Structure 1
């Protein structure tokens, strides 16, 4: 086929496609209730256009609504090739069951799609709406405690804990849920979330202060991801400083008792030689006194 004939064929086909688009816009109000489908970020999803398969299908167009305008995604018209666009790299149409597979789904693929089915010899298409919802699981949340003692009388244990919970890579945006805590003793001091520029996935972070009333097990959840469980507000029968002071006093008392016992024992101990010498000295003095008399 010469270049001139190719250009003529492309022009005629483009004109036919434009006319078809106008018909689609006119028929878009005849669609039934929208079909909802879900896809996991980075995975594949299949768009199935409703049909009773009782009549032969001549054309199938799947288009996405972007800024209130329809954008052609993929489809078929008898055995002709469709105009190329960036979606054809990730999409594949099945003419037998009137479906389209989309691979490597991204957050930007989320939204409303329209499916147009043209039966042979029929001008007005059958229109159906398909709403694609994209989800991505958050990473396992990280929970970090920081507990300190405060003035007695503020709570039952005299202790408060700052608890931080964070997770990344999820979609759509979600909130943090805490389990095991008394809401009346909880105060949110920091709440932050941000969407990644490219992937559009979210990073969520929250820090709360919890005034302890008793020992408790706590965990946090973001979306469907749950953190490990930690124990906070642990009570001690004796503070560490008190235990150290008692130990020091006991050691000092034992040393003092040992010194006193050793001193008494050493002062009272005598040998037999010392005792006989004392007796001899006493007898000699007695005899000297008798002679002088």
Structure 2
């Protein structure tokens, strides 16, 4: 029950008591009427004062509604961004990134792209190398036909894999007549390391012709060249069917080392010697021809 309701009930109770008092003391005529008017006036006064002094309150349990503020309609402003003069969209390419080649291999890289700018690519536009490994590619390379906006350009460049193993990247761009560079693209390849191999053997001797009292000894050398680090196993082969046991020699890099054979002979005659590279080549080198003339 609210405070205001309580006050009203209290006033009604007071009026009821006053009327009862009128009856008890036999109020008559004007006195009775005056008392009634006074009670009404007091009641109105209290009610008016209650209205001014008591602020409205929210009854217990009454749900307070949220306040909703309406926002004015906002119309978005659309701004058209102009296309650049020179712009390209990549479509596809040949020679995927990381393709492996042997040293010195020739290959052709092709790119396909669409003109998505506002300007036509005339034959004054060209492909230019800008960074990395050029790999023998021709730069600049002018377009052979015009490419209007929306049309597709296919351009290619002939390249050669570098001689040494490793990863190589070359960056290329299109260049406008005013010098603007745009739309970069690249070549990424891997040059395979060659398998370890003996790439050359030279046989030599201090003397290939000896004349004198026998026996005489021929000192023979084989100069072995490799393409990198590794171990070479070999054995000598001599005329007449003679073999010398297998030996090995280590190489720390691509280099040339020599191995020696001392071959004593006691009879006049012509001889030859060869060297067989067992690992890694399985290859025979030679012969080196020798002559011995024994004197008394």
Q: Fold match, TM over 0.5?
A: no
Greater RCO, CA 8 A, separation 6+: 1
TM-score (norm 1): 0.32
Mark the structure with the bigger radius of gyration: 2
- Higher helix content, 1 or 2: 1
- Higher strand content, 1 or 2: 2
TM-score (norm 2): 0.32
